[in-house]
Amino acid sequence: MKSRYPEDKLTIIGGGIIGVLEAYFAYLDAQKAGKKIRVTINERNKNISDTTTSHIVPSLTPDEILAVVPRGQELVKKLRILFSEPGGIRIDDVEGINNSDVAEKFIKQVQQYSNDEQGHQARTKILLELGKMSMNLWQHIYDNADPRLKKILEESNFNPCREPNTNGEALHDGYRIDLIYNVPNAKAKANSMKADYEELGYTSCKILSPKEVIARDPFLADFCKNNSIIDEFGERQWKDDSVALWRPGGCIDTQTLLPKLCDYLKDIMGKYTNESGQSKDCFQMKFERNVVGVSYNPESENLEINGLRFFGKEPKIHKHQYEHSDYVFCPGEAVGTLKKLGFNEPAYSGFAGASLMLNIPIPTKQLVEQYSKFNHCMEVHQEGVVLAWQARFRENKIFIGVAGTKAFYSDQRPHKDQAFAKDRNLLQLNMINDVLPEFISLALGRDTSGKKLTIEDLSHLEKLGIAERWVGTRSVAYDGFPTLGSVYKKDCKITNARTTTHLGSGGGSFSLASIFVSRSTLNKDQTEQDKFTQDVLRYGSSNRKFI
Ligand SMILES: Cc1cc2nc3c(=O)[nH]c(=O)nc-3n(C[C@H](O)[C@H](O)[C@H](O)COP(=O)(O)OP(=O)(O)OC[C@H]3O[C@@H](n4cnc5c(N)ncnc54)[C@H](O)[C@@H]3O)c2cc1C
C-alpha cells in the first residue's frame, strides 16, 4: 500500500498548555490552507496530569503575566527577605539557589534592565495589549468552536474575560468579583487596579459594597460580614483594609481541559498511512520523551533541525521528507532548556508557586441541593499574596482550588515537602477559611469560622483525601516578557524552529496570543507582520540580552 503522509509536520517539545495549544493552532491553520498536518508532542512526564497547569486553577486576565519579576534593586531587596515575611522571596533551606551562576546572571540582567525605565514602560504597554489580545482570542475560540469543542470548554469551566453582554451585573459574563483584605487602604489598591483596566478599554469596573457582593454571590456573605461594619444608616461598609472589586476576569479549569483537548485533536486531525502501510494518528502525544539534544541536517546550507535526541534512547531523525517540518520548543517550567539544547536563551529563572485543591464531600442530599449552584472564580488579594481561585459544585462535591504565592528558585525544582510549599499551603488553607468558612467547617467537622488553622489540620485534610498540595515553577526571563519566535544557535537563526516559553505567571491567560505571534515567525512572508507583532517578536526574541 502506498504511503500517504500529510504535507507538513510539526514537532513540539513540551506537552504543557502551550504545547497542546500550539498543536491546536497548527491544526486550525492547516485546515484553513486545506492541508493535513502531522503533529507530535514530546513530553518528558508520564502523563498529561503531571504538567504545571493540571495542578493550578488559571485565572484569565490581561495582566496576569505582570506579577512575577520584581525590578532591579527591588529584586535584590526582596531576595534578602525570607519568603514567609511580607514582600520576601528568599529560600534558605534548599542548596544551589541564591549563589548559583544562573541566579547571578539573572539578577545582574534584571538590575541592568531596570535602568531603562522608558524601555520598560514600552514593553509593559505591549505586554498588556498582548494580554488583551489573548482574552479576545479565548472568546473567539469559544465562539467559533464546533459543538464538541464548545462542550469541552464549558466542561472546563471556561469563563471569558471581556466586556459583559448583559447589564453587567451577573457573574460569568466577562467580569468577576475580586476580594482584597488585610491590605492597608484597600480601596486605593482597588482603584489603582480599576484605572489599569479602564486604560485597557474595560469600562464596567467598580468597587462593590458588601451588599452588592452578597447579591451577586451569596456564598461570599461570611466574608462580607467579617470584613465590614454597619454604619449609622444600617448599611454594611468595608473596613479600611478590605474591599471587593468588580473587574474583567475569567478562568479555565486546565486539569479538565488538557486531556479532553488532546482526545479531541486526535479525533479531529484524522489519520495518515506510513510507508509500512499502517494507519497512524496525525496527532500524537508521546510521553517519557525527555528531549536532551537536537541534530541538524548536514545537507542544508542553513541551520535546519532534522531530529531529536531523547534521554536514554536512540536519536530520532525524520526519514520522511515533508514539505515543511518545523519544531517548536515549549519547555515552560524547565528553565534553561533552550540553553542546554545549545540555543540562545535570555537570562532566566524559576519562581516557585504553590497550589491547594480541596474536594469536600457533601454529607446530605439537602446540602447537595443547597450547594448545587455554587460556582465562582476570582482572585483573592492579601498583602504580598494573590491567589487565583476557582470554586464550584463538581461531581457532587465542593471543589475549591487556589494557586499563587512566590519564591525565587533559580533553576532548582521545588518540592512540596520543602518549607516554602508547606508554609504557603497552610496560608492558602487559612485564606480559604477566611473567605468560605462554611465549607472548611464541613471538611474538618467543626466550626472553623474566625479560627486559625494549623499544619495538623492541613495534614488531616490530606489524609482524608480532601486536600491535595502541590508546588511548581513559573519560568521567566529577566524582563518578565515571554520568549517567543525564532530560535538561535550562537546568534545564528535556525530556519525551521521557534519557541514559545517563559510565560511566567500568565501562561494560561497569555497562551493564545503568544502562540499566535510566535507562529508568525515561520510564515514565509514576514513583510506582512504588523507593527504590534514585530514589537512583540523583538521584545520576546530568544537571543535578547540587556547589556
Ligand atoms: C502556582 C502557580 C499559579 C499560576 N496561576 C496562573 C493563573 O492564575 N493564570 C495564568 O494564566 N497562569 C498561571 N500560572 C502560570 C502558568 O501555569 C504557566 O505560565 C504555564 O504553565 C506555562 O505553560 P508552558 O506550557 O509554557 O509550561 P509548563 O506548563 O511548565 O509545561 C511545560 C512542559 O514541558 C515539559 N518539558 C520541559 N522540558 C522538556 C524536555 N526537554 N523534553 C520534553 N518535555 C519537556 C514539562 O515536563 C512540562 O510538562 C501559574 C503558575 C503557577 C506555578
250 lines ligand 1 (CB under 6 A): no
pLDDT tens string 505-541: 999 999 999 999 999 998 766 667 899 999 999 999 9
Same domain, 279 and 193: no
437 lines ligand 1 (CB under 6 A): no
Residue 442 lies in a domain: yes
Q: Please tell me the distance from the alpha carbon of residue 289 to that of residue 367, in angstroms, as a whole number.
A: 46
Residue nearest to atom 34 of ligand 1 (CA): 14
Same domain, 469 and 352: yes
Residue 406 lies in a domain: yes
Of 229, 250, 271, which marks where a domain is finished? Answer: 250
102 lines ligand 1 (CB under 6 A): no
Residue 60 lies in a domain: no
Ligand 1 centroid from CA 314, angstroms: 27
Alpha helices in 325-396 (DSSP H): 337-340, 365-371
pLDDT tens string 38-68: 999 999 999 999 999 999 999 999 999 997 8
Q: Ligand 1, closest atom to CA 45?
A: 47
- Write out the three cell numbers for 483: 520568549
16 lines ligand 1 (CB under 6 A): yes
For residue 236, CA distances in Å to 186, 243, 373 come to: 16, 12, 25
Q: Which of 122, 124, 139 is nearest to 60 (CA)?
A: 139
Of 227, 250, 273, which marks where a domain is finished? Answer: 250
The 10 Å CB-count burial string (b at 16+, else e) for 204-219 is: bbebbbbebbbebbeb
- Write out the three cell numbers for 386: 494573590
506 lines ligand 1 (CB under 6 A): yes
> Strands 59-60, 37-42: parallel, antiparallel or unpaired by DSSP?
unpaired
pLDDT at 529: 83
Residue nearest to atom 45 of ligand 1 (CA): 14
Please give the biggest Cα pair distance in the chain.
86
**Domain with 527 in it: what CATH number?**
3.50.50.60
Same domain, 506 and 524: yes
Cell 510549599 -> residue: 421
Ligand 1 centroid from CA 181, angstroms: 29
| CA 236 from centroid of its chain's CA atoms | 36
- Domain range enclosing 246: 163-250
Q: Ligand 1, closest atom to CA 19?
A: 25
pLDDT tens string 211-256: 999 999 999 999 999 999 999 999 999 999 999 999 999 999 999 9
Same domain, 515 and 531: yes
472 lines ligand 1 (CB under 6 A): yes
**Mean pLDDT, residues 434-446 taken together:** 98
Contact yes or no for 86/383 (Cβ under 8 A): yes
Residue 102 lies in a domain: yes
Same domain, 308 and 426: no
Of 455, 477, 499, which marks where a domain is finished? Answer: 477
Q: Which of 140, 203, 133, 172 is nearest to 482 (CA)?
A: 133
What is the residue type of 386?
V
Same domain, 95 and 244: no
Ligand 1 centroid from CA 234, angstroms: 48
Ligand 1 centroid from CA 352, angstroms: 11
Q: Is the pTM of this model over 0.85?
A: yes
Residue 145 lies in a domain: no
Same domain, 237 and 330: no
Number of domains observed in the structure of the chain: 3
The 10 Å CB-count burial string (b at 16+, else e) for 510-522 is: bbbbbbbbbbbbb
483 lines ligand 1 (CB under 6 A): no
Ligand 1 centroid from CA 17, angstroms: 7
131 lines ligand 1 (CB under 6 A): no
Alpha-carbon torsion angle 119, 125, 128, 132, nearest 10: -140
Q: Ligand 1, closest atom to CA 333?
A: 30
Same domain, 370 and 472: yes
**Mutational test site, ligand 1, from 254, 431, 474, max ligand atoms within 8 Å of CB:** 474
Same domain, 204 and 189: yes
pLDDT at 259: 98
Mean pLDDT across the chain = 95
Q: Please tell me the distance from the alpha carbon of residue 520 to that of residue 486, in angstroms, as a whole number.
A: 10
Contact yes or no for 308/42 (Cβ under 8 A): yes
> Strands 324-329, 8-13: parallel, antiparallel or unpaired by DSSP?
parallel
Q: Ligand 1, closest atom to CA 405?
A: 1
Same domain, 380 and 466: yes
